[in-house]
Amino acid sequence: MASTVCLTFDFDAMSVWFGYAHTTPSMLSRGEYGARVGVPRLLSLLRSYNISSTFFIPGHTIESFPAQVEAILADGHEIAHHSYSHTDPSEQTPNEERADMERALAVLQRIGITPAGFRSPSADFSAVTLSLLEEYGFRYDSSLMADDYRPYRPRIGDRVSRHEPLIPGRDANLWEIPFCFEFDDWVHFQFNFNPYRNGTSAPSKVLEIWTKDFDYMHKNIDGGVLTVAMHPQVIGRGHRVDMLEQFILHCLANDNMRFRRVVDVVDAL
């Protein structure tokens, strides 16, 4: 079976910065950069290699930057659920989490999208997140990390603590397309003062990590799926777009590989 790479983009724009204790105009301008510069630049790159990808977009971004969202749809990319305002579900009450999920769903429905997939804004869940995803008919999530190259069924109702070993719950009625922070551009590249994050990695370092992982998967895992998570306000900088193109070319130089939207991976399971 062919190796698959899913290029995914968390188009958070301004909403990602609301999670910080003190949101400033400078922070918001970085989010706007993702919409003004990052998205058009990335769409042009993807178009040049005829690659379809998945954009996880908060409802706040959809309402704030409709022209960019229309361009994403016009190029045939998948749009998936990423909350309304990039709020960490592990910090919400169950009622707050449900309300946020429903508000984002309503925004998506207004642009004609019934999302197949979800990615948590924090790459983390509350105790009820998976149950809500089942209830609202999601077919996949891409937030968890219990595998690397193989889709799996996440579990609902695990019991585990420092005082007792794992007692597994039941398999959820949706797929997990695993994610990891090594393949998240924010971890490598996004600078911040408080809380401090260096975020000044050389693209060559990140390119080595990404290409080496692809090579391992392609050599050792039959039908493996590698998910790369990026943010237009981060990967959209010129030197990083160049790195992403080098990664694309490295993958394409191998026989029997393909780039796919996450929903297309799930359709084939």
85-102 pLDDT tens trace: 999 999 999 999 999 999
pLDDT at 199: 82
Helix axes 39-48, 66-74, angle to 10 degrees: 10
pLDDT at 226: 98
Chain-centre distance for alpha carbon 112: 21
| Residues β-bridged to residue 54 | 8, 78
pLDDT at 122: 87
pTM here? 0.96
Domain covering 3-159+169-267, topology: TIM Barrel (3.20.20)
**pLDDT per residue as tens digits for the range 163-199:** 999 999 999 999 999 999 999 999 999 888 777 778 8
Buried b (16+ CB within 10 A) or exposed e, 2-22: ebbbbbbbbbbbbbbbbeeee
